[in-house]
Structure 1
Amino acid sequence: MPATPDALDRRAALKARHRQAIVAAAAALMDERGSARFSVDELAARADVSRRTVFNHFATLDDVVIAAASTILGDVVDELGARAGAAGPDADVLDQMAAATRAEHLVPLMARLVRMLGGESGAGTTLPAREAALVQRTFALLDERLTATMVGHHAELDDLAVELLVVAFMAGALMLFRHWYAATGAVDDARSRRLWDELQGHLVDLLRHGQGAPQDAR
């Protein structure tokens, strides 16, 4: 006998509640431990669901971590998109991306992300392989959200052109993150912010002018 609409609605609502409980449990574990390293059993117990329910919603534990990071950082990501749109009426795509990712906005976000994923603080440290992969996936999420925002801000431009600029910028920003992390260990202080702005300025110059970008232009 086919399920009734009410039964389907209840099933969908239960599925949504389970997913929300799993993501919330992962976020709580990450905040408590300062690490994304926990077992499926620990996650299931915290969410009050079975192991099977966890894997009904997520293919891997890392997928849960990314969803939790997305939830925790969602408001900040949205704020970055809003700052891109506030760069000024004459700002082009690169100007807006630069405005959104200045150190004062992005360094606290990156420092928090590293802490959430269990990276060590201090210059000269190396982000473990799993955590580095999670950071890369989170940058991809940021890329996706900012791309949608920037396309909306530039209706007069070809969508593909805007998307290519944003993707190129964010790919460069991920490379800058690796240099910044190696130099600062994701510490949020004046030196760390100054270094990020210097790196970001060079990226903007390179994308705008190519290999002929002035080295001292910031």
Structure 2
Amino acid sequence: MQEQQGSARGDRREALKARHRGAIVGAASALMHETDGAHFSVDRLAERADVSRRTVFNHFGSLDEVVLEVLSRELESIVDGIDAALASEDAGAAAEAGLFDRLVAAVRGGDLVEVVTRLKRILGGDDPEPGPRQAMLFERAFTDLNTRLAATLRRHRPDADPFAADLACGAFVGGCLVAIEHWEAATGGADTEESRRVWDGLLVRMASTVRSGFAPGATAPGAS
């Protein structure tokens, strides 16, 4: 009986911890979406989440860790989309396609554009040029994306060399960050039908450049 009571208390504690963590992340997301960016204080976050300041720091080491959790959850849709694309692809085509090409094909069409513009907006608020802190958090979120993509890719291709899978994911995420910079410079960061065409063109060039091994003089499709 005592053992059962102890187990029940432990379950309640875990449920309470999960509820508090969810409330903190939800409050941070709401504050960031309300055009305040990532500039809110711990006190304001605690008040919005209806928890104490101490509770916030019981779950997160800093405000940046809270913001990073929000960004990671926003990027979850990209991982889910790639997961679904890899699960539904034809087995014969999967055997022919390279790991990198499979990742690129999964984010064609603009879904990543939508996520990136949302992330930039909630990170920077009304500021069109996020500062060093916001840029660091953005890149850290993509580093976390890299880890989750590698796990997803290895699950779908258990026969793949782990080094090759990790390298493909690292090249993909790093390439996406470069493509995002060029896409923003070319389109102003607006999510439109034309800007999505620009995005797809950059992804095609990225895949072609990686496939050619950055050979001197190679012209990727879509290059001007």
- TM-score class, shorter-chain normalisation, is 0.7 to 0.9
Bigger drift between 16-25 and 33-42 goes to 33-42
Give ranges in structure 1 of 5+ residues lacking alignment.
Answer: none
Matched, 1:99 2:105: yes
| 1:26-45 equivalences in 2 (<5 Å) | 26-33=28-35, 35-45=37-47
1:116–1:190: structure 2 CA closer, same or farther, 3 Å change rule?
same
Contact 2:146/2:173 (<8 A) preserved: yes
Contact 2:104/2:207 (<8 A) preserved: yes
Q: CA offset at residue 120 of structure 1?
A: 5.5
Q: Provide the TM-score with structure 1 as the length reference.
A: 0.86
Q: Deviations over 1:81-125 (max 9, x none)?
A: 32244454323212211112224221111111111212568xxx5
User: Identity across aligned pairs (percent)?
Assistant: 44
Alpha-carbon RMSD across the aligned residues, in angstroms, is 2.4
Q: Provide the rounded CA distance (Å) in 1 between the counterparts of 2:78 and 2:163.
A: 25
Q: Provide the rounded CA distance (Å) in 1 between the counterparts of 2:180 and 2:166.
A: 21
2:219 alignment partner in structure 1: 215
Matched, 1:175 2:181: no
Q: Provide the rounded CA distance (Å) in 1 between the counterparts of 2:88 and 2:36.
A: 33
- Give the counterpart letter for 1:22 in structure 2: I
- Give the counterpart letter for 1:107 in structure 2: V
1:127–1:80: structure 2 CA closer, same or farther, 3 Å change rule?
farther
2:66 alignment partner in structure 1: 64
2:22 alignment partner in structure 1: 20
Contact 2:74/2:115 (<8 A) preserved: no
2:204 alignment partner in structure 1: 201
Q: CA offset at residue 158 of structure 1?
A: 1.2
Q: Provide the rounded CA distance (Å) in 2 between the counterparts of 1:191 and 1:119.
A: 24
Contact 1:120/1:127 (<8 A) preserved: no
1:187 alignment partner in structure 2: 190
Aligned match for 2:158, one of 142, 155, 158: 155
Contact 1:176/1:200 (<8 A) preserved: yes
Contact 2:35/2:121 (<8 A) preserved: no
- Give the counterpart letter for 1:92 in structure 2: G
Q: Provide the TM-score with structure 2 as the length reference.
A: 0.84
Q: Provide the rounded CA distance (Å) in 2 between the counterparts of 1:160 and 1:49.
A: 43
Aligned match for 2:119, one of 106, 113, 118: 113
- Give the counterpart letter for 1:207 in structure 2: V
Aligned match for 2:85, one of 71, 80, 83: 83
Give ranges in structure 2 of 5+ residues lacking alignment.
Answer: none
Matched, 1:54 2:60: no
